[in-house]
């Protein structure tokens, strides 16, 4: 039994200030409301002898006063809450990316180096971390109360969430979007540790290769290399006669689409290209890329994205 | 003495005795009898939903869950939500007190479309039967919000039957809404200008506008949901090209305004009772009236605040946050005006006033905690936890159900011609107030500490607060059974009521208790402004 919640991130303290300010303000208003009800109930009780003449006849001045004060206070609260939310929304550019896949009823985590864990997430402290999250089935929600963060995890798209843990420890992870029968069992632990211990943990749980290396193998196995080339170098160099765009240097750059718009080739864009190729067709190539929806698991998509990302530094031919 | 004399002369033409066969009730077009048919039906559903609530609180006494299966628990809270929202909270005040009082307050003989009124009750019953069927057949396991793709592709419950029930109930709402709007436009007594209408009528007018405009959106959403589940048409399910967030937008576009459908009639009830028991004019009548209208309008523009962590854009979150703060302003205005009404009055504490004061206190807590979840960064931490559960129960149960009970006690003498036992009424009001706070206040703390909603089992550190909440629920259950007992008792043994036992203004008090079938022998004319207090004879009558 405890009535406090650890403030494990720097944002947690800021969110708590806002909540405590709201609590104090609410107590003041409640005191005013309950106090005046009690006061008037006693002073103006039926049959009681009192002066009842002080009641204001014209009410609009009072109405205007309490309406504008309420508006001003609310506007201040809006600014406070919104400013903090915007900062929580935008991750710093150097954040360490970790990938989270939710399914009924477990959390699967993939680290950059290929380490995998279930219903647990190991993170280093003192460093911004960005989760890239997707769901294999229904909507879930990744929530860590000690971090004061929460975000829905949706099927069919990547949602992100960032935080920076300041205090080593083990914190509860909950799914907070009702997701079916064992929703209440979809919990886990976030283990925050100092960087050396984290690196040690990564080593002990070493995988057969980084996500990008595993992605390179999948790139051959799913036949991507047939059109995009053995190292993603593009159609002309590929063994096949089919002309497909080069993937080298694609990630993070601008991608022109057939409808004339230009989008940034981020994780979501590459995911869509693999699973829903007709959604955002790239300009200048025949629309022959088949959809891999239902054939590639979410984990494999993440590894393919990691591989294509690893080609970003290579200059396009 | 005069009370007894008038009671013997009027029993001949009271609406209650004008026809005693079952047929004369089931085929009646008298708005007062339809109100009683509705009162019986919503009471039944209130207790069905209440039993589900009791089982929920029972389960949460132990961290591992007292009810063995999570599937059963999930079906219980879904049924609790569906029944309470669509079969109690949304209809409660409009179809019972509203049906009974709108023509009486207007000085009219009946609503504009008496047969449509009866049809709306049959639609409600049909919907209720469908809902009970899905409950008995095995229930639904999606939560009352039916989020996709859980409800369309993964749920094993009776989603379609439940959706059909809600779809039909929607038509009942629309029929009632139309009837009220047209009646208020066309049936006002001579001299009753818009600004001479009681606030209760204004509130129901605003409520009806929401019902008529928002319910069709729900109907379309539910049709799409059922089609998606049966035919996989690909509107909401991403694996067939749909967008799960689209469902949330459509659902909350109805379901947030529906919150105001539940609470606005409650505001109306309180605005009648506070002046009557303060023996003083309603403070700031026009501000109270226009705050209802602004709530109805702004209420349509805040649905996105249910989706601050759902994956909607940053800019939409900013817009919906500021609009949510805006919609809280008119509610605050109302609270200040009710308190202003007490100032300089002559306040009596009969049961309706006790319930009304309980409403003001609990609704204020519900409203203030609404600011927590409107403030974006605070919402991220508090949403989808027990904080939100406590917040909306303070508004819906502490607020709306208290207002319903306040109104039921206030107009009970008019409806039945009998007085409920006053002392028991006051005891009930106090028990409900304390039981309610003990049940739901611990849930604010649970939410801040991070306990998620809709959990069949939970970590052991949350147990103490959960046990407190369940203990409160036991007291609250006693509080709700009390009125059922003593009001039923009063139907047979209660003292006969005079025509105006509270010394209140308003046309409904100018006819007999219970009113004759035709309401008024002579159409009343209105010359005085509404709430024309103080009435001189109040002091002598209540000694």
Return the closest-CA partner of residue B130 out of B31, B222, B15.
B222
Residues in chain B, overall count: 543
pLDDT per residue over B264-301, tens digit each? Answer: 999 999 999 999 999 999 999 999 999 999 999 999 99
Which pTM does this prediction carry? 0.91
Return the closest-CA partner of residue A223 out of A316, A303, A302, A292.
A292
* Mean pLDDT confidence for A149-170: 93
Three-class SS of residue A213? Answer: helix
**For residues B163 and B159, what is the distance between their CA atoms, to the nearest angstrom?**
6
CATH number belonging to domain A211-310: 1.10.760.10
CB spacing of A3 vs B375 below 8 angstroms: no
Q: Is the pLDDT of residue A307 over 80?
A: yes
Residues of chain A with CATH 2.60.40.420: 96-204
**For residues B388 and B163, what is the distance between their CA atoms, to the nearest angstrom?**
24
**In chain B, which residue's Cα lies nearest the Cα of A184?**
B455
Output the CA–CA distances (angstroms, integers) from residue B198 to A57, B89, B180, B204, B268, in the order listed: 20, 22, 14, 10, 8
Domain B29-532 CATH class label? mainly alpha
Report the residue from A26, A54, A181 with minimal CB separation from B344. A54
pLDDT per residue over A29-88, tens digit each? Answer: 999 999 999 999 999 888 877 777 766 656 788 888 888 999 999 999 999 999 999 988
Query: Which of A150, A185, A291, A295 is the best substitution to test chain B (most B C-beta atoms within 10 A)?
Result: A150
Residue B9 pLDDT level (bands cut at 50, 70, 90): very low
Residues from chain A contacting residue B457 (CB–CB below 8 Å): 184-185
Domain boundaries, given as residue ranges, for chain B: 29-532
Kindly report the average pLDDT of chain B as a whole number: 92
Query: Which of B287, B308, B381 is the best substitution to test chain A (most A C-beta atoms within 10 A)?
Result: B381
| Owner of token pair 């149960």 | B397
**For residues B338 and B76, what is the distance between their CA atoms, to the nearest angstrom?**
38
State phi, psi for B514 to the nearest 5 degrees.
-75, 155
Domain A96-204 has CATH 2.60.40.420: yes
CB spacing of A184 vs B340 below 8 angstroms: no
**Structure tokens given for B180:** 């009220």
CB spacing of B142 vs A46 below 8 angstroms: no
* Mean pLDDT confidence for B63-84: 94
Three-class SS of residue A28? Answer: helix
CB spacing of B347 vs A40 below 8 angstroms: yes
Residues of chain A with CATH 1.10.760.10: 211-310
What pLDDT, on the 0 to 100 scale, is given for residue B2? 38
Q: Nearest CA to CA, how far is B159 from chain A (Å)?
A: 13
- Alpha helices in B347-462, H assignment, sequence order: 351-374, 376-382, 386-393, 402-416, 422-449
Q: Nearest CA to CA, how far is A269 from chain B (Å)?
A: 15
Q: Is the pLDDT of residue B429 over 50?
A: yes
Report ipTM for this prediction: 0.89
**For residues B454 and B386, what is the distance between their CA atoms, to the nearest angstrom?**
9
How big is the A-B interface in CB pairs under 8 Å?
Answer: 259
CB spacing of B376 vs A19 below 8 angstroms: no
pLDDT per residue over B110-143, tens digit each? Answer: 999 999 999 999 999 999 999 999 989 989 999 9
CB spacing of B71 vs A181 below 8 angstroms: yes
Three-class SS of residue B90? Answer: coil
Task: Check if the beta carbon of residue A312 is closer than 8 Å to that of residue A251.
Answer: yes
Query: Which of A28, A45, A46, A134 is the best substitution to test chain B (most B C-beta atoms within 10 A)?
Result: A46
pLDDT per residue over B193-248, tens digit each? Answer: 999 999 999 999 999 999 999 999 999 999 999 999 999 898 998 888 889 999 99
Kindly report the average pLDDT of chain A as a whole number: 87
Return the closest-CA partner of residue B248 out of B329, B316, B296, B295.
B316
Return the closest-CA partner of residue A312 out of A272, A266, A271.
A266
């Amino acid at each position: 039994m405890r009535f406090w919640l650890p403030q494990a991130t720097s944002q947690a303290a800021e969110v708590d200030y806002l909540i405590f300010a709201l609590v104090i303000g609410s107590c003041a208003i409640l005191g005013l409301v309950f106090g005046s009800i009690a006061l008037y109930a006693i002073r103006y009780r039926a049959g009681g002898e009192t002066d009842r003449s002080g009641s204001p006849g014209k009410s609009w001045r009072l109405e205007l006063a309490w309406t504008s004060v309420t508006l001003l206070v609310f506007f201040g609260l809006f600014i406070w809450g919104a400013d903090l939310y915007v900062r929580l929304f935008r991750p710093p550019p150097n954040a360490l990316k970790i990938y989270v896949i939710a399914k009924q009823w477990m959390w699967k985590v993939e680290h950059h180096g290929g380490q995998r864990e279930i219903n647990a997430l190991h993170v280093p402290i003192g460093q911004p971390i960005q989760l890239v999250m997707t769901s294999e089935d229904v909507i879930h929600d990744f929530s860590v109360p000690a971090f004061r963060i929460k975000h829905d995890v949706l099927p069919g798209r990547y949602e992100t969430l960032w935080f920076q843990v300041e205090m080593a420890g083990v914190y509860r992870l909950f799914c907070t979007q009702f997701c079916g029968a064992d929703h209440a069992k979809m919990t886990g632990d976030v283990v925050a540790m100092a960087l050396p211990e984290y690196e040690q943990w990564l080593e002990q749980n070493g995988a057969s290769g980084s996500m990008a290396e595993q992605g390179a193998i999948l790139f051959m196995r799913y036949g991507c290399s047939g059109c995009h080339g053995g190292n993603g170098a593009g159609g002309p160099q590929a063994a096949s006669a089919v002309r497909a765009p080069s993937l080298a240097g694609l990630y993070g750059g601008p991608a022109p689409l057939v409808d004339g718009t230009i989008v940034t080739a981020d994780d979501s864009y590459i995911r869509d290209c693999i699973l829903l190729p007709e959604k955002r067709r790239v300009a200048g190539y025949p629309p022959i890329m088949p959809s891999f929806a239902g054939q590639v698991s979410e984990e494999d998509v993440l590894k393919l994205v990691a591989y294509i990302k690893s080609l970003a530094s290579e200059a396009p031919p | 003495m005069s009370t007894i004399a008038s009671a013997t002369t009027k029993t001949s033409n009271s609406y209650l005795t004008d026809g005693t066969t079952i047929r004369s009730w089931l085929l009646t077009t008298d708005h007062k009898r339809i109100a009683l048919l509705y009162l019986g039906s919503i009471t039944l559903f209130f207790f069905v939903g209440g039993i589900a609530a009791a089982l929920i609180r029972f389960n949460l006494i132990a961290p591992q869950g007292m009810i063995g299966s999570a599937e059963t628990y999930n079906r219980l809270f879904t049924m609790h939500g569906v029944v309470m929202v669509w079969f109690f909270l949304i209809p409660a005040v409009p179809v019972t007190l509203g049906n009974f009082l709108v023509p009486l307050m207007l000085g009219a003989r009946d609503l504009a479309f008496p047969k449509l009124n009866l049809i709306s009750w049959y639609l409600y019953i049909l919907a209720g039967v469908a809902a009970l069927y899905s409950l008995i057949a095995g229930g639904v396991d999606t939560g009352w919000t039916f989020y996709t793709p859980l409800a369309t592709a993964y749920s094993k419950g009776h989603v379609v039957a439940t959706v059909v029930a809600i779809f039909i109930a929607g038509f009942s709402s629309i029929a009632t809404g139309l009837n009220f709007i047209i009646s208020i436009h066309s049936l006002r007594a001579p001299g009753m200008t818009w600004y001479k209408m009681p606030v209760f009528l204004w509130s129901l007018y605003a409520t009806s506008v929401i019902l008529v405009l928002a319910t069709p959106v729900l109907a379309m959403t539910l049709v799409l949901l059922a089609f998606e589940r049966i035919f996989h048409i690909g509107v909401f399910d991403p694996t067939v090209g749909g967008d799960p967030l689209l469902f949330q937008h459509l659902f909350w576009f109805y379901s947030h305004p529906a919150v105001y459908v539940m609470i606005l009639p409650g505001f109306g009830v309180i605005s009648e009772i506070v002046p009557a028991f303060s023996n003083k004019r309603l403070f700031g009548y026009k501000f109270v009236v226009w705050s209802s209208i602004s709530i109805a309008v702004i209420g349509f523009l805040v649905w996105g605040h249910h989706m601050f962590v759902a994956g909607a854009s940053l800019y939409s979150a900013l817009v919906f946050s500021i609009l949510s703060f805006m919609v809280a302003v008119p509610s605050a205005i109302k609270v200040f005006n009710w308190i202003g009404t007490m100032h300089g009055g002559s306040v009596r504490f009969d049961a309706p006033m006790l319930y009304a004061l309980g409403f003001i206190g609990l609704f204020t807590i519900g409203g203030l905690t609404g600011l927590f979840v409107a403030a974006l960064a605070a919402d991220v931490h508090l949403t989808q936890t027990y904080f939100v559960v406590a917040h909306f129960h303070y508004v819906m149960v502490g607020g709306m159900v208290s207002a319903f009970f306040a109104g039921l006690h206030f107009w009970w003498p008019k409806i039945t011609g009998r007085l409920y036992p006053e002392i028991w009424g006051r005891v009930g009001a106090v028990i409900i107030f304390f039981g309610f706070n003990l049940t739901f206040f611990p849930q604010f703390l649970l939410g801040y500490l991070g306990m998620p909603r809709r959990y069949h089992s939970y970590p052991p550190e949350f147990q103490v607060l959960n046990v407190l909440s369940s203990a409160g629920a036991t007291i609250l259950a006693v509080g709700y059974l009390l009125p059922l007992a003593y009001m039923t008792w009063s139907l047979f043994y209660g003292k006969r009521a005079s025509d105006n036992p509270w010394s209140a203004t308003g046309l409904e008090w100018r006819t007999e208790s219970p009113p004759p079938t035709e309401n008024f022998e002579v159409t009343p004319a209105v010359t005085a402004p509404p709430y024309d207090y103080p009435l001189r004879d109040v002091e002598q009558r209540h000694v």
